[in-house]
């Protein structure tokens, strides 16, 4: 099966690299990032005294991909 290696998270305008090991976010070298294609769902976290809800973007690896890829212009 043909696989286009350009359609990866690292080349998608919706992918935001995360800081790693004290380094600033860098699209060229980051291993993980956040997919910001859709609004983040609210996750529920059980804390000792209450439940908390907070939004969280999907975390992906730079070589992951999906069917909603939009190539970066830079």
pLDDT tens, position by position, 26-72: 888 899 999 999 888 888 888 788 888 878 888 999 999 888 888 88
Number of domain units in the chain: 1
The answer as to whether 13 is a domain residue is yes
Residue span of the structural domain in which 39 resides: 9-61
Q: Is pLDDT of 19 > 60?
A: yes
Confidence of residue 14 (pLDDT cuts 50, 70, 90): very high
Q: Is pLDDT of 2 > 80?
A: no
The answer as to whether 56 is a domain residue is yes
The larger pLDDT score, comparing residue 43 to residue 73, is at 43
The answer as to whether 67 is a domain residue is no
| Strand 51-55 versus strand 32-35 pairing type | unpaired
Sign of CA pseudo-dihedral 12, 39, 64, 4: negative
The answer as to whether 23 is a domain residue is yes
């Amino acid at each position: 099966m043909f696989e286009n290696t350009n359609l990866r998270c690292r080349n998608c305008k919706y992918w935001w690299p995360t800081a790693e090991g004290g380094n600033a976010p860098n699209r060229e070298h980051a291993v993980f990032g956040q997919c910001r294609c859709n609004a983040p769902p609210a996750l529920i976290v059980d804390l000792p005294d209450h439940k908390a809800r907070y939004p969280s973007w999907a975390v992906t690896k730079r070589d992951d991909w999906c069917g909603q890829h939009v190539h970066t212009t830079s």
